[in-house]
Amino acid sequence: MPAIRSHLAPDSPHRMLAIDQRSALILLLVASTLGVMAGPMVMPVIEILRADLGLTGTEAGLIVTVHGLAIAVVGPITGAAVDRFGIRLPLVVGLVIYGIFGTAGAILTDYTALIASRIVFGVGAALVFTCTTTAILTMWKSPLRGRVMGWRTTATSAGGVVFPLFAGTIASLVSWHAAFAVYLVGLPLAVIAMRVLPKRPVLAPSLGGNGILSMLRKPSLLGVYGLFLMMAVLVYSIAVFIPQRLGELGITSPIAASIFMAVMAGAMSLAGLFYGRLRRILSKFTILRIAAACWTAAYLTLGLSDSIPVMILATMALGAGNGLGFSTLSLFVGDLVPERLLGRGTALSATVFFLGQFLTPLLLGPVMHATSINAGFLGVGAAALAIFAALCLIRPAPEVRG
């Protein structure tokens, strides 16, 4: 981390800004834990919440994922805001919305009101996700960009260890309502962001729409967004259905469910920690193939096994694949999207990711209800296997490491 200042791109606007780069990096890494973990932070209490409110499995799953619909809808708007106003203002607004509306579940007892609060909360999560990703892709260039993106993945997944465990523990000691208090962390982060991020825009304003249309004509970029969509299904199939699967096996403790999320996040964290080293020796396509192999092995194992230790090992493999995949796909966006449109390009990745998150319980819930949770896991594993086969057939051009 001490070498970060010297590795900033020579033409980076941040060289002319009187800010503490290290403080900005720490803030961005901490804030990065919030966007992706918005749903899994309440996953450990979802089974208790479902029983308390008398909800179906699909209705309960929407509490974990409905904010993804809001992110998908407002994603293009948040991206345009970042391209126009820079990182600081949209991030501060996003963190305030995140903290206030995320915490609303601590006092709400009506399902409709809870869903409404989660939708507004999704607007804040969209801003947080887009701002943190765009900031990292613009502030650091190769060869350090891959390392910083790996740190971002590690920070995100470390939050995935701490937040679900804390939420599960506090829910066990108090009630499922108390778990929503975790979202209050957004408010102090908003205050810090006001102090350490620049006032003026990071990116040059770009108000035209033709660039976006031209960008979306790239088959490679559409493929990247498709993989973001698949990753959402991979992450949230576990978040939504593992508690129900554990319930089938007679395990209903929130802490038990949170352990699975913590194990997945821990493996993801390790993958991010070593990601910079991997990028020095492996291409992004090779890393994606490894990630797809992990996804395939994880879900096929989850679909075939009733053993808790084996399921935990499969969840670890899934976490490793997610860590490699998330970092690599984010770097692909940075490579394929012009910098003047990077806010919108990053926001589109959030749109497809969280759209997939929202659709996961709606698509898989009825299938699993009609068959079994194991059958649903096998279906996801088959889709991951198809992705792995497709990636193996593609022969990309040589690339620069970093």
CA angle 310, 232, 118 (to 5 degrees): 110
Within a domain: residue 122? yes
Whether the CB-CB separation of 319 and 189 falls below 8 Å is answered with no
pLDDT of residue 316: 93
Which residue type is seen at 46? Answer: I
Within a domain: residue 141? yes
Whether the CB-CB separation of 267 and 160 falls below 8 Å is answered with no
**pLDDT tens, per residue, the chain with 402 residues:** 444 443 444 444 434 333 467 788 889 988 988 876 677 677 777 778 888 888 877 788 778 778 878 888 888 888 888 888 888 899 999 999 999 999 998 888 888 999 999 999 989 988 998 888 888 887 777 667 778 888 888 888 777 677 777 777 887 777 888 888 889 999 999 999 988 887 654 444 444 444 566 677 788 888 899 999 988 888 778 877 888 888 888 887 767 777 887 788 888 888 888 888 888 888 889 999 999 999 999 999 999 988 889 999 999 999 999 989 988 998 888 888 887 788 888 888 888 887 887 788 788 888 888 888 888 899 999 999 999 999 998 877 656 555
pLDDT of residue 287: 93
Within a domain: residue 399? no
| CA-wise closest residue to 167 among 253, 269, 255 | 255
pLDDT of residue 289: 94
| CA-wise closest residue to 201 among 72, 71, 95, 340 | 340
pLDDT of residue 295: 94
Q: Other CB atoms closer than 10 Å to residue 124's CB: what's the count?
A: 31
Q: Find the domain containing 210 and state its range.
A: 15-393
CA distance 44 to 305: 21
| CA-wise closest residue to 259 among 160, 182, 325, 380 | 160
Whether the CB-CB separation of 324 and 287 falls below 8 Å is answered with yes
Within a domain: residue 5? no
Within a domain: residue 335? yes
CA distance 358 to 165: 23
Within a domain: residue 6? no
* Structural Rg of the chain based on CA atoms: 20
Within a domain: residue 402? no
First and final C-alpha spacing in the chain? 16
- Tell me which DSSP letter residue 142 carries: T
CA distance 85 to 294: 39
Q: What is the CATH number of the domain that holds 286?
A: 1.20.1250.20
pLDDT of residue 160: 67
pLDDT of residue 384: 93
How many alpha carbons fall within 13 Å on the CB side of residue 249?
Answer: 18
pLDDT of residue 14: 39
| CA-wise closest residue to 238 among 178, 317, 181 | 317
pLDDT of residue 211: 57
pLDDT of residue 12: 43
Burial (Cβ within 10 Å: 0-12, 13-18, ≥19) of residue 254? buried
Within a domain: residue 333? yes
Residue 149 is inside which H or E element, if any? Answer: helix 144-173
Q: Which ranges constitute the DSSP H helices of 250-341?
A: 254-273, 275-281, 284-304, 308-336
Whether the CB-CB separation of 5 and 21 falls below 8 Å is answered with yes
CA angle 194, 197, 202 (to 5 degrees): 130
Going from the C-alpha of 249 to that of each of 55, 244, 245, 246, the distances in angstroms are 20, 9, 7, 5
How many residues does the structure list for the chain?
A: 402
Q: Is 261 left (phi over 0), alpha (psi -120 to 50) or beta?
A: alpha
Domain count, the chain: 1
